[in-house]
Amino acid sequence: MPFKVAIVGRPNVGKSSLFNRMIGSRLSITDDAPGVTRDRIYAKTEWLTKSFAVIDTGGIEISDAPFLEQIKQQADVAIQEADLIIFVVDSRSGLTDDDLFIAKRLYPTDKKVIVVVNKVDNVDLKQSIYEFYALGFGDPIAVSANHGIGVGELMDQIVQSM
Ligand code: GDP
Ligand code: MG
């Protein structure tokens, strides 16, 4: 059984973008069947000498469920399946009620939760991470999934907690 890392967060924070960064384009190209445009939600990756699996819970579709029910169930999958949870938030929008809703869902778990503040595309946006301390999961990590900034630090933290 590989060590499993689940990515959770409300829509549009950049979960799939971060997932693709974490698994690398090499894996996503070779593993995908031609013509399949659906987002992948599960892949194995490695960092330094360690390998682990990543799950993008945002890609799990629960048909007909209302929005809050969907993200609730995605958080529940993370709690059940993962050894470590990556909780992605958006530096541009700041902390939202939906972020707090997900946080409440994650509080009962004993599993480690790392808050990843995405879309920190430049140094001017770095101060936007501080409000996310209020989530209560410790030091947030600033990343830009689009530019690849901070992803190495996140991967370091993941392998350190394995
Ligand atoms: P998801 O719904 O959480 O899976 O989010 P996506 O990965 O689909 O990204 C949602 C939108 O945010 C897309 O338009 C992405 O291009 C954009 N996005 C993702 N990461 C970044 C980032 O690091 N910086 C910026 N500026 N936009 C990003
Ligand atoms: Mg997605």
Q: pLDDT tens, 105-135?
A: 999 999 999 999 999 999 989 999 999 999 9
Q: How much is the ipTM here?
A: 0.99
Mean pLDDT for 155-161 is 97
pLDDT at 32: 47
Domain hosting 95: range is 4-160
- What φ, ψ does residue 42 adopt, rounded to 5°? -140, 130
Q: What is the DSSP string of 66-103?
A: -HHHHHHHHHHHHHHH-SEEEEEEETTT-S-HHHHHHH
CATH number of the domain bearing residue 74: 3.40.50.300
d(CA 81, CA 158): 16
Domain count, the chain: 1
Nearest alpha carbon to residue 90 among 48, 121, 54: 121
Is 154:143 a contact under the CB 8 Å cutoff?
yes
Q: Which helix (H) or strand (E) holds 4?
A: strand 4-8
- Residue ranges of the binding site for GTP: 9-16, 56-60, 118-121
pLDDT at 147 over 80: yes
How far, in Å, from the CA of 86 to the mean position of ligand 2? 14
Say whether 42 sits in a helix, a strand or coil.
strand
Does the C-beta of 14 come closer than 6 Å to ligand 1?
yes
Q: pLDDT tens, 50-105?
A: 999 999 999 887 778 888 888 889 999 999 999 999 999 999 999 999 999 999 99
pLDDT at 25: 60
pLDDT at 38: 54
d(CA 64, CA 42): 22
pLDDT at 35: 46
Model pTM? 0.92
